Chain A
Amino acid sequence: MTESRLSAGLLIRIAVLAVVAVFFQTGVVSEVPVFGVNVDLSPLVVAFVGLLCGSTVGAVTGFAIGLLVDLTLVQTLGVTSLIFTLIGYWSGRLKELRDPQAAVTPLLVGAAAAAASLVGYSLMEFLLGVDAPVSLELLRQIVIGIVLDTVVALPTWVIVRRSLEGGLPDDPRRRRRRRRAYSTGGLSPLSRHT
């Protein structure tokens, strides 16, 4: 998908998805701890938007969702925006450069986004002078957080993809089917023209 072909419909879908994701996260998901740690859907949503729409849209979505999170939860402005911008950009670049089609891609991207988010936050907080040296408990919580986010990555991917599907000019599933059909000889360029 080229960036210039971004439709207004897609932008509205992304905006609605971002607002719903942030409110659902802060109002529901954050209230349900698992092993003392909360699932964080926001970096997953950012990464998957990047994976579907490209690096520029991913980065802008990351910045917007990060700002919304910081404003809604009265946190230090800019921290989440910075981390999510990089996550969105990185996942977008992954799509542009490699265009991975494997079924485990959302899981791996989700795990990487969660790791980047948790480690990024820790680094930022250390830089901002929070008195918290690396401890086993902190590492345990980071690891559990990554595992939990990886577990919910697949359903989140399905929801994000379905939400944006109608607005995407080039549907990844359609492309995958086309590629598979082409490799099995069912829809070769020649047969399509005949």
Chain B
Amino acid sequence: MHDKTVRRRRVVLVLLVVLSLLLLTAYFGEAPGGQLHDVQRGFLTITAPIQDGANKALKPVRNLFGWFDDTIHAKTQRNELLKQVDRLRGELVADQAEKRSYHELLGMYHLDNQLSVSDYRPVTATVVGKSPNLWYETVVIDQGESAGVRVNDPVINGEGLVGKVAQAASDGAEVSLITDSTMGVSSRIASTNATGIAQPKVGDPNDLLLQYLPANTQANPGEYVVTSGTVSSPDDSLYPPGILIGQITSENEESAYESVNVRPAVNLHNLDVVQVLTAAQGTLPANLSSLTASLPVGQGSPAGSAQGEQLASTGVR
């Protein structure tokens, strides 16, 4: 009797471990459109409304915990923000005059058809799930294909760039945050226009590294990094230019390329509502995305992103 129990226990363990390994191998090996991915998307379609309901019901609990955190950091943040407001007010006055001249020049040279956020159809979504694991920088939102959300659509919130849609189901989608190891966003330093790729910092999932900058780039702590409006590879998302990604914290000495450390502008640990920038068929963003996706492989490398940059910045229709 005892032997039988022991044997059964071991058989169950071995079966479960083998099943897990089989699932892991099959999932890892198959394409994003494979059967297991389909099952996962189907499951997401079923659970997204439940998660949405649970999320709304449990919001007071989350707010209570958030309140403690906010209260602890409120004073420090207030002082920092007051300083920032003073500095930005000065910059705003100077920039307004420059902006007027800039738009006049763009109109004069017929370059005023640049892609912007207003060209997209923003879909507001609520974050209904987030992995507690260090290794998964993804969130689940409650809007999917039925709302026009597609894979690779940019995701933003009021603070800046959040990430892009990695998988879309009917009523839900998975969003890869900008700190996810699979991400790489074509970016530029706002003050100098030096372009590079913003990628998660290896070994530090909360920070970004702006890499492949031109040699001798002048980058000072506190300067802003924004999206460049170009793509770095054919399967990349085409983010509108000028979306805030973060602020430079320091120069990176460890990398072989010219690079700087960037702190994301968005509080990625506390996402509630986001906007997915969807593009309807035939619109400028949709046309540009399909055009950049058709670029030959290799042309989208950091050195060869010139064509994508050209497409996005001139707004080819």
Contacts and interface: CB of A to CB of B under 8 A. Distances in A.
Interface in A88-138: 89, 118, 121-122, 125, 128, 130-138
A27 B55 contact: yes
Contact of B16 (A39, A85, A131): A85
B171 to A, nearest CB: 13
Given A59-B13, A135-B202, A130 B181 contact: yes
Interface centre among A37, A78, A134, A136 (most CB of B within 10 A): A78
Interface stretch (B117-125, B129-137, B155-163, B186-194): B129-137
A26 B20 contact: no
A42 B129 CA distance: 14
Contacts of B58: 24, 27-28
A77 B143 CA distance: 22
Contact of B204 (A27, A63, A76, A138): A138
Interface residues on A, range: 35 or more
B43 interface: yes
Interface residues of B, number: 59
B23 A77 contact: yes
Given A28-B62, A32-B69, A135-B204, A73 B138 contact: yes
B134 A142 contact: yes
Interface string A28-66: 111111101111101000000000000110011011001
A147 B271 CA distance: 24
Interface of B: 5, 8-9, 12-13, 16-17, 19-28, 36, 39-41, 43-44, 47, 50-51, 54-55, 58, 61-62, 65-66, 69, 127-136, 138, 140, 166-167, 174, 181, 202-206, 269-272
20 contacts: A3-B8, A27-B58, A28-B58, A28-B62, A30-B129, A31-B130, A31-B269, A33-B269, A59-B13, A67-B23, A78-B23, A78-B27, A81-B16, A85-B17, A131-B181, A131-B202, A132-B202, A135-B202, A138-B134, A138-B203
